[in-house]
Amino acid sequence: MSKKDKYAPETNLAGGLGWMDESFKGVIPGIYPSTTYEREKDGSYPSGRVYTRDQNPNYDQPEQILAGLEKGADAFLFSSGMAAAVTVFQALKPGDHIVAPKVMYWALRNWLVTFGADWGLETSFVENGDLSELNNAVIPGKTKMLWMETPANPTWVVDDIKAWSEAAKKVGAVLVVDNTVATPILTRPIEHGADIVMHSATKYLNGHSDVLAGALITKEENDFWTRIKRVRNAGGAVLGPFEAWLLMRGMRTLSIRVKKASDNAMAIAKALENHENVEAVLYPGLESHPDFAVTSRQMSGGFGGMLSIRVKGGEQASMDVAARLVLFKRATSLGGVESLVEHRASIEGPDTPCPVDLLRLSVGIEDADDLIADLKEALEG
């Protein structure tokens, strides 16, 4: 049994799998800025490293921890979540067909319909939750990848990973799940049939809104994973050593941050569910959520720190509520310890499927009553 299998995720995260700075016995490993590694007189590389592009020692500890958390065989870090996702698409070939949901991270959807299409990738977007549309969309011999995100940004619909994995298997396609929002603390997609898991590590994994990073984790080290490794090495969309070190520092507290943010989000969802100025609360943890049955199967330990509210009175009313909030800062992104609010439709542009009265809340780890009071004061003008 390896160290990473012996202990609970919280233990591996907090203790960093026991990694230390071996030169000085510091309890925290150092930062290794060197870009190149010395060769022996006989031409060999005794450190096993040649050049930093995908071999920086600061990747090793977070990659091992992420592979363990996601129950995968291997993990790679990238310079951003987008770089991680785009590397997966670049590992496909022109003419390959992808199936993805209509509601997903907008910049990624946008990449698929612009650059992805230019490079010969064809994507069919299906209605989230519609399994018959999904099963009709996969084409034997042509569909090479199913891409999903759950809970999906910014309406937090929850798609069934197992059902998507069955649809992928039917045609021999790879299933990739963007697990940024649930994090491996609440959902481990590989346990439900995913082949690859993707993260914007900028969000919960780092958790302090001060690192841009991405990650991929694979269920098995197969030919497709080797191709992803080659694309990463050739393209060089890798993380700097200092960012990898900061990411590792953030990850040590992942579990308590995710649980506290989930508790806060649930308290807010319940407090606002029947508020007179709220049209709807979109939160997968509410029993009234249409996907609650799937959510309960797929998520455990909490339902995440992301929720959206639809404000009565339309777009201007929701903008006014955002303007009155004090504790929730008006900013994009999510997954930090501080709470953020965002009017998503105006960020996503005219082709957005996001309702114009929707405010997306990234709930932090502050006191729940303070956050609820801030929201109620803003809603009540």
Size of the site for ligand PLP (CB under 6 A): 16
Q: By C-beta, is 29 or 149 nearer to ligand PLP?
A: 149
Whether 4 sits among the annotated catalytic residues: the reply is no
Contact call for residues 67 and 73 (beta carbons, < 8 A): yes
60-79 CB burial, b ≥16 within 10 A, e <16:
bbbbbbbbbbbbbebbbbbb
Give yes or no for residue 105 binding ligand PLP (CB under 6 A). yes
Alpha-carbon distance 263 to 257, whole Å? 10
Residue whose token pair is 């590992």:
91
Give yes or no for residue 212 binding ligand PLP (CB under 6 A). yes
Alpha-carbon distance 369 to 353, whole Å? 32
Residues 282-341 that bind ligand PLP (CB under 6 A): 333-334
- Position among 61, 180, 218, 318 found at the interface with ligand PLP (CB under 6 A): 180
Residues 348-377 that bind ligand PLP (CB under 6 A): none
Q: By C-beta, is 159 or 178 nearer to ligand PLP?
A: 178
Cα 155 from chain centre:
15
Part of the chain binding ligand PLP (CB under 6 A), chosen from 65-73, 79-87, 260-268, 357-365: 79-87
Q: Which one of 53, 169, 249, 324 is the catalytic residue? A: 53
Residue whose token pair is 């994995």:
165
Cα distances (angstroms) measured from residue 112 to each of 101, 127, 172, 238: 12, 16, 21, 21
| Least spacing, CB of residue 140 vs ligand PLP, in Å | 29
Cα 195 from chain centre:
15
Give yes or no for residue 247 binding ligand PLP (CB under 6 A). no
Q: By C-beta, is 147 or 378 nearer to ligand PLP?
A: 147
- Position among 80, 218, 298, 362 found at the interface with ligand PLP (CB under 6 A): 80
Q: By C-beta, is 66 or 379 nearer to ligand PLP?
A: 66
Whether 204 sits among the annotated catalytic residues: the reply is no
Q: By C-beta, is 69 or 271 nearer to ligand PLP?
A: 69
Whether 203 sits among the annotated catalytic residues: the reply is yes
Whether 159 sits among the annotated catalytic residues: the reply is no
Cα distances (angstroms) measured from residue 17 to each of 3, 171, 202, 249, 280: 7, 38, 21, 13, 43
Q: Which one of 96, 159, 160, 178 is the catalytic residue? A: 178
| Least spacing, CB of residue 207 vs ligand PLP, in Å | 13
CB atoms closer than 10 angstroms to residue 40: 9
| Least spacing, CB of residue 307 vs ligand PLP, in Å | 14
Residues 130-159 that bind ligand PLP (CB under 6 A): 149, 153
- Position among 202, 255, 295, 362 found at the interface with ligand PLP (CB under 6 A): 202
- Residues whose CB falls within 8 Å of the CB of residue 319, separated by 6 or more in sequence, listed in order: 343
Give yes or no for residue 200 binding ligand PLP (CB under 6 A). yes
Part of the chain binding ligand PLP (CB under 6 A), chosen from 80-88, 267-275, 285-293, 359-367: 80-88
- Position among 13, 65, 77, 82 found at the interface with ligand PLP (CB under 6 A): 82
Catalytic residue IDs: 53, 105, 178, 203
Residues of this chain that interact with ligand PLP (CB under 6 A) are: 80-82, 105, 108, 149, 153, 178, 180-181, 200, 202, 212, 214, 333-334
